[in-house]
Structures are given as structure tokens and as C-alpha cells.
A and B are shown apart, each in its own frame.
Chain A
Amino acid sequence: MTTFVIRRLLWTIPVLLLVILFTFLMMRQIKGNPFRKTDRAVPAAIQANLDRKFHLDEPWYVQYADYVKGVFSLDLGPSLVLRNQSVNDIVKSHFPVSLELGAYAFLFAIVAGVPLGMLAALRANKLSDYLAMLVANVGFAVPSFLVATLLIYYFAVKWNVGLPTSGWRSWDSKILPSIALGFFPMAYFARLVRGTMLETLQQDYVRTAKAKGLRRRRVVGLHVLRNSLIPVATAAGPLLGAVITGSFIIETIFAIPGIGRYYVSSVSARDYSVTMGLTILYAVIVIVGNLVVDILYGFLDPRTREART
């Protein structure tokens, strides 16, 4: 296991270099002046001053080399648009927010989705199953911007429940965005848990246990649950991607100061260093996330451990 982990960690270096290279080349291709934000043109002398300040007047390979050096010394450079902040500052202030949002969304997804799936599996083909799956299917198919809009409309504007319409400060402002972001993963988990539980319940050893007279709850608890959680662990990988993607929308709609909302605006504003820095950050998140999932999977399912060579 340790060699596996070390191997994977070593692989992150070439991956990051690849990500930096791709992003750098792509950003160079995008036309647009990061220093021109309004219809008004930038006078030539000022443009020269700015290019000089941010080393944009140097040849691209020099810029690239400097940038790579910076990344490996954990300095992601200054922001071209937010003049008094560096990319590190931006990450420090925005990333914890997105992380918290993602964590709460996942929490909601598991707390709401797993029991829903279990309920559906245990009462398969009865009314509660159909209702549960209805909720799951709706959550799966309806885009999160609609979910978010409806939540805000009903809980924050129309019914005076006292929940704020936007922001991320008090604990009550964190409820609606977490639900909105976690709705899709919840549905995914519910379906998945139902499916795998049903499959496991059919397995011979479960039938044997039942035949032996073990009480249903024990049967479920011991064997079925653990085996059903394996696919949930594997699903966490792609769901991480879904949560990252969804956060862009949720953060914009709820005015949450996270990196998702920031990423979109930095690309439009041509803030090269922020865009590259955040892309690298995302890549690291995805790599770490995949690694964690693979490790979990290795623990949960001994069969796969041998397959790892």
C-alpha cells in the first residue's frame, strides 16, 4: 500500500507540469488585454509600464520557466487584476470557503442519500421505493441552477423562514447552498445504494444468513451495508468532479466568495496568473481526491488490492 501511495504521489509532478504547460499555452493563445477593463484604451506608456511590471514583455519561455519555478516554491505569482493581492492570498481566502461548501454538500448527500437508498432497497417495489426513487431521479436530472433558484425563492424570499438569500457568513446562510450543491450527489448516492443493496440482498450468503434465522437488521447491518458502501466510495471520485463543477454555479447564485466563482471571472478578465494558479489547484484537488478514493477502495475491497501492480 505504501509503495502504491508513494508511486502515485511521485506521478503528481509530471501531471502538474503537464497541467501548467497546457494552461500556460492556452492562456497565451487567448486574445485580450488583462489591463483593459473598460471601453477606454490603455495609453501606450501605461501599457508598457504594466507589461514590464508583470514580466509580460519577456519571451514566453522565460515566463514559463519563471512560473514553473514559482509553482514549485509554492509562489503562484501576483494577480494581474487584483493589484494588491497575490494568487496565494486569493487561494488562502477563497479556497477554505469552497472546501467548506463542498464538505457540507457531501455531508448532506450522504446523510440524505444513503438512508433514502436503503429505504428504497428494503421496501423494493413498494410505494416508498417509488417515492424515494422519484425524489432521487428528480434530484439527478434537474440542473442545480433551478434547484438553487427554487430554494432561494421559497425559503428565503417567499416564506419567512429567516434564511438569507445569499452570502456565506452565519450558519444559516450555509444551509441552502449546501443543499443546492448536494442535491445531485444525494440523488446519485440514493440510486447507487439502492442498486447495490438490492444486489447484495440477493446474494447467496445473505439468503443463507436469513435462512439460519439471523434477524433482518443484523443481516443488513453486517453484510449488506458494508458491501454496499464500496460502490459509494468509488462514486465519490466522479462526484468530486460534479461538486467542483456545480460549485461554479452555486457560488455565483449565492454570492459565495469561493474559488469557483472567482475562476470564471478571472478567465473573462484575462488574469493569467490567477487562472493558471487556480487550474493547478483544481488539478491537485482532483489528483488528491482520486488518490484518497483509490486508497479507500483498496481498504474496503480486498479483491482490488492484488490488482494494483
Chain B
Amino acid sequence: MLAANQTLTMAWGAEPPSLDPGLATDTTSSNVLLNIMDPLVKLDPKTLKPVPSLAQSWDVNGATVTFHLRHDGRWTNGDPVTANDFVYSWLRTLSPELGADYAYQFYGMTGAQAYNSCDPKKADCNTLKNKVGISAPDQYTLKVELTSPQPWFIQQVAHTSFLAVNHKAVERWGERWTEPGHIVTNGPFKLAVWKHDAEIDLAKWNGWRDAKDVTLKRVNGRIITDGTTAVQSFAAGEIDVNTTGIPPADLPRLKTEDTYQNYPALGTYFYGLNVKNIPLQERRAMALAIDRKSIIDNIAQADQVPATSFSAKGIPGFGEIKNDYLQPTADMGKAKALLAKTPNAKKHINLFVNDAPGHKEIAIAVQAAWKKLGIDVTIKQMEFAQFLEFLGPPPNKAVDAYRLGWIGDYVDDINFLETWTCQSGNNNSNYCNPRYDALVEKARSTKDNAERFKIYAQAEDMLTGPNGDFPVIPIYWYTYVTQEAPSVKDSFNINLLNQFDLSTVKVVDK
């Protein structure tokens, strides 16, 4: 039974750094944007395949992708949404002047990287701008030239950075265009209130093309950054949904309640190993010696899944990956045997972690596990920003092992696997294997999904299989944890990319 009052009150976990699609980098920004704007494609909640949204269909012709837009998209200022809006917006995101963090998402398009890397102080970047492969042959057709056939491109377009902005608002208000009185949007909800650091409220927009399908009338969002404060607020009945999270130490108490909800995430928590400092067999031994299940049950406690591969579960093609070497629990026997065969094993290891809650405790558990192998581990803890700077790039020689996490930008394994190529800026392990790079390149140019998934499995095997090189030791796959009131629990869902679609939420009488 639908409730009479279709209002949702929720906690946002942070103040959005920006509501400009070109500049939005964190989950709060993207979740607000995905609900107030109209993406070209959305991801199907179950299969994660791209489904039409503003783009009603698309053609893929080799390295050219053509989107056909619906004719009924509208901006809140009355303008129709056209392909030119996307050309304008995407070129703007690529412009060096904007300094967009996610500009790299566009590098798959011809001329994009060159334009973004241009230094306006030294050259005229406009010539490069005109060479970028984005164009609008007519009002509702958007043509994109890619550098190579990229089968995952359509899915990638579901990301916030590919949203369009209204050029009139941007030109009129400049950097202030995202303020509530100025912003022009085209999605199911409007930005009703944005009190910085305090409140973000959304209101249903009746001018949206499919407004009749949207049940929720209003979303009142409080910005609560502290986990305990959010938990208290939920306990007092002030909010229906807590997306801020639950402090790990409080999880055991709250997990048993009906309001606890847990969603798989597309991300891997891992330990990286400096392949120049630690020999191969030792790396394999270290990977086998970790009891993932115990770490999850006792320390992380958010029902994470033990990771037996670097590619996260839920990624298309995951079924091809053999996952037969690493186990959820430790295999000390095999580990010790491997280490016994390594004469030049490194006995003293520096493990670097950052000082957020939980990481040190996991490090202590891992330290104890490796001690059983006869390896002495010194845990060095640093504040987050310093930690990141210390790791590099370029990779720091003093680091033997380090902790990091990798969250997928889009739902395709290439996103995970390319991290370990020689040139990747996210490869902190000094790992460079030409055969691995070749496999990844081959995957990039393989259009057929089934074929590509097989190649992905091979690449993953080179990382974490029985003959794997182990620049990385996966520990667990992330989950997203929320508290949801019975009135919205069924319809509120978070997908693998930490996105939630408020246009499908219905408040029921409970």
C-alpha cells in the first residue's frame, strides 16, 4: 500500500564537492546528479547492461558510436535537450581550463587526450578542441569517434561525467551555476534546497519526460558525515535511509536488525607487493597465508566477500575466471612449502597502511599470518593524503607492501585489469610484464563479449592464478552498508557502482 505522503528523508554522507558533472568526483555528487539529470543510458539494476534513458537507441559501427536521442527531453528552463548540449558539455569537461578530474573517462575518444593535455599558456588549444571526435550531425543525433572499438563504451556513458549541462546556465552564472536558484537540470527531480554542508533536498519535477512513472514527491536529505551521528539519527526515527554508513565497531549490533541492508560493490580491497623487493614464490606464499574469512568476520564485519581474484565479483565475465588458487581461508601448508623453496626470501617487510579505522587492525591480522611464515612485518601507518603521496607514482622503493582499494568506474573488467599494465599510473607494485600488457591490449580490441571475457580470465590468471605473478593480493570485495526503514526498504537499492535511482523508490505504509 503506497503511503499518502511520498516523502523520503535520508542522510547524505558528505557535502558534494561540486554538482557540476565535469567536476563531481564523489558518491554524494554523483548520486544527486544522477537523480536531477538525465543520462544517455542507465544501467539495468539486475544485469547491469546499459538500457536506454535519454538515448532511445544507439548504433555501434566499428569505432564509431551513434546515439539517437529522444525528442522529449527538456531542461527546467524550457529548452529542449539536444545533441549539441552533449557536444558542448563533453568538450567543456575536456577543456584544460576546467580541470575536470574525470576527463580521463573521455580519453577513449579521438583527440580527447591531446586536447585535455594541451597547455593554454603555451599553445592555442582551440585547434585541438576542433579535432575531438564528438559531433552532432543533427539535433537529436550524437556521434562519437573512438580511438578503437571499445565494447564497454556504452556502459561507461552511464557515469556522471557524461551528463550534459545547460550552456545558458553555465554562461550566465559561471562557477556559481550549480547553486539552487541558478541550476538548470533535466532529470526526474529538481534541486530544491542546497544548504551547504547541511541539507540537500530534491523535489519531483513534473516536466520530466516520464514524470508520471515517478512516485516519490520529495527527498529531504541531511548531510551527516559522522557514522555514529547518522546511526543515532536513524535510531531516533529522524531519517528513513542512512547512506552515511555504520562505524565498523557498531556493525555487530546493527547487523541483526531488519533495517540493516548490504549491497555488493564493484571494488576490491587489496594489498600490493613491490615485485622488485619480494621474490615471486614469496609473494605467492604471502597471498596464500591470509585468512580472508577471519578478517571479514572479525574486523571488517560488513559481510564483505572474500576476494579470490583482483577482478571483482559481479563484473560481466566473472564466471570465466577460474578463482581456483586463492581461497577464502588460508592454506598455510602450501604457503610454507613455497617459502621453503625460496632461498632469497625477504624476511623483514615494511607494510604501509593509512590511518583510517579498520586498516590497522587488518594489517595486524596479516602481520600475524605472515609471522607464521617466518616473515617479520613492520606496520607503518600514515595519514591518508600523505600515504597516497608516499606511495607514488613513481613507486617508492621503501615500500614492500601496501594497502589500497580499487573501485570500478564502470562495469567492465578492463577497468580493473589495466591497472597492472606497465604504464598505468595506478600500478604501485613496479609490476611490468609485457605478456600481460599484450593480453590487455588484445582484450581492448576484441569486440565479441564472450571472447573478451576469456581473455580477461587469462589476464586475471596471470595475476592471481596458480602461476600468477601476484603484484597484488586481493583481500575482500567491498560492500555498501545502509540502514533502511521498512517503508522504503524494498524499493531503495544501491547498485554495484554505488548509485541509487530515486525515481523508482516508493514509500509504503508499514
Which residues in A have some Cβ–Cβ distance to B below 8 Å?
30-46, 48-50, 52-54, 78, 81-86, 89-90, 93-94, 152-153, 156-157, 164-169, 252-255, 257, 261-262, 265, 268-270
Within 8 A of A (CB), among B377-418: 383-386, 388-390, 393, 404-407
B166 proximal to A (CB < 8 A)? no
Give 9 nearest A-B pairs by CB, closest first.
A32-B385, A257-B197, A45-B117, A257-B198, A83-B18, A41-B425, A53-B99, A50-B99, A165-B232
User: Which of these, A31, A41, A49, contacts B99 with CB under 8 Å?
Assistant: A49
B138 proximal to A (CB < 8 A)? no
Given A82-B17, A84-B18: A49 touches B116 (CB 8 Å cut-off): yes
Specify which chain B residues have a CB less than 8 angstroms from the CB of A153 in the assembled complex. 232
Which residues in B have some Cβ–Cβ distance to A below 8 Å?
15, 17-20, 23, 25-26, 96-101, 103-104, 113, 116-117, 119-121, 175-179, 195-199, 222-226, 228-229, 232-233, 235-236, 238, 383-386, 388-390, 393, 404-407, 425-426
User: Would A156 and B116 count as touching, CB distance under 8 A?
Assistant: no
Specify which chain A residues have a CB less than 8 angstroms from the CB of B15 in the assembled complex. 82
Given A49-B96, A167-B198, A253-B229: A268 touches B385 (CB 8 Å cut-off): yes
CA gap between A254 and B195 in the complex, in Å: 16
CA gap between A164 and B18 in the complex, in Å: 28
CA gap between A166 and B228 in the complex, in Å: 11
User: Which of these, B20, B223, B384, B393, contacts A83 with CB under 8 Å?
Assistant: B20
User: Which of these, A41, A49, A168, A253, contacts B393 with CB under 8 Å?
Assistant: A41
CA gap between A221 and B508 in the complex, in Å: 63
Given A52-B96, A169-B198: A164 touches B224 (CB 8 Å cut-off): no
Give the shortest distance, in Å, between A273 (CB) and chain B (any CB): 14
Q: Which chain B residue has the least Cβ–Cβ distance from A152?
A: B232
Secondary structure at the B interface, as helix, strand, loop or mixed, is loop
User: Which of these, A32, A37, A83, A257, contacts B389 with CB under 8 Å?
Assistant: A32
Q: Which chain A residue has the least Cβ–Cβ distance from B114?
A: A45
User: Would A42 and B101 count as touching, CB distance under 8 A?
Assistant: yes
Specify which chain A residues have a CB less than 8 angstroms from the CB of B235 in the assembled complex. 157, 165
CA gap between A238 and B100 in the complex, in Å: 45
CA gap between A156 and B233 in the complex, in Å: 9
User: Would A37 and B26 count as touching, CB distance under 8 A?
Assistant: yes
Give the shortest distance, in Å, between A103 (CB) and chain B (any CB): 18
A-B contact sample (11 more), CB < 8 A, given A31-B385, A33-B388, A83-B23: A32-B385, A34-B385, A45-B113, A46-B116, A78-B175, A84-B177, A84-B179, A86-B175, A157-B232, A166-B224, A252-B229
User: Would B425 and A84 count as touching, CB distance under 8 A?
Assistant: no
Specify which chain A residues have a CB less than 8 angstroms from the CB of B176 in the assembled complex. 84
CA gap between A90 and B226 in the complex, in Å: 20
Specify which chain A residues have a CB less than 8 angstroms from the CB of B404 in the assembled complex. 39
Q: Which chain A residue has the least Cβ–Cβ distance from B426?
A: A41
Give the shortest distance, in Å, between A90 (CB) and chain B (any CB): 7
Q: Which chain A residue has the least Cβ–Cβ distance from B97?
A: A53
User: Which of these, A32, A165, A252, A270, contacts B238 with CB under 8 Å?
Assistant: A165
Secondary structure at the A interface, as helix, strand, loop or mixed, is loop
Specify which chain A residues have a CB less than 8 angstroms from the CB of B101 in the assembled complex. 35, 42, 46, 50
- The 5 sampled A-B contact pairs (Cβ below 8 Å) are A37-B25, A46-B103, A84-B20, A156-B236, A166-B224
CA gap between A50 and B96 in the complex, in Å: 8
Specify which chain B residues have a CB less than 8 angstroms from the CB of A253 in the assembled complex. 226, 228-229
Give the shortest distance, in Å, between B479 (CB) and chain A (any CB): 17
Q: Which chain B residue has the least Cβ–Cβ distance from A149?
A: B228
CA gap between A177 and B31 in the complex, in Å: 30
User: Would B425 and A31 count as touching, CB distance under 8 A?
Assistant: no
User: Would B104 and A52 count as touching, CB distance under 8 A?
Assistant: no
CA gap between A254 and B222 in the complex, in Å: 12
CA gap between A88 and B484 in the complex, in Å: 37
CA gap between A34 and B23 in the complex, in Å: 14
User: Would A262 and B197 count as touching, CB distance under 8 A?
Assistant: yes
User: Would B197 and A93 count as touching, CB distance under 8 A?
Assistant: yes
Specify which chain A residues have a CB less than 8 angstroms from the CB of B179 in the assembled complex. 84
CA gap between A268 and B406 in the complex, in Å: 21
Give the shortest distance, in Å, between A27 (CB) and chain B (any CB): 12
CA gap between A49 and B23 in the complex, in Å: 13
Specify which chain A residues have a CB less than 8 angstroms from the CB of B18 in the assembled complex. 82-84
Specify which chain B residues have a CB less than 8 angstroms from the CB of A34 in the assembled complex. 385
Specify which chain B residues have a CB less than 8 angstroms from the CB of A255 in the assembled complex. 198, 222-226, 229, 233
Q: Which chain A residue has the least Cβ–Cβ distance from B101?
A: A46
Give the shortest distance, in Å, between B402 (CB) and chain A (any CB): 10
User: Would A257 and B119 count as touching, CB distance under 8 A?
Assistant: no
Given A255-B224, A257-B223: A166 touches B229 (CB 8 Å cut-off): yes
CA gap between A33 and B388 in the complex, in Å: 8
CA gap between A93 and B117 in the complex, in Å: 36
Give the shortest distance, in Å, between A276 (CB) and chain B (any CB): 16
CA gap between A20 and B229 in the complex, in Å: 34
Specify which chain B residues have a CB less than 8 angstroms from the CB of A261 in the assembled complex. 197, 225
Give the shortest distance, in Å, between A288 (CB) and chain B (any CB): 24
Specify which chain A residues have a CB less than 8 angstroms from the CB of B389 in the assembled complex. 31-33, 36
Q: Which chain A residue has the least Cβ–Cβ distance from B173?
A: A84
User: Would A166 and B233 count as touching, CB distance under 8 A?
Assistant: yes
Specify which chain A residues have a CB less than 8 angstroms from the CB of B98 in the assembled complex. 49, 53
User: Which of these, A31, A93, A165, A262, contacts B233 with CB under 8 Å?
Assistant: A165
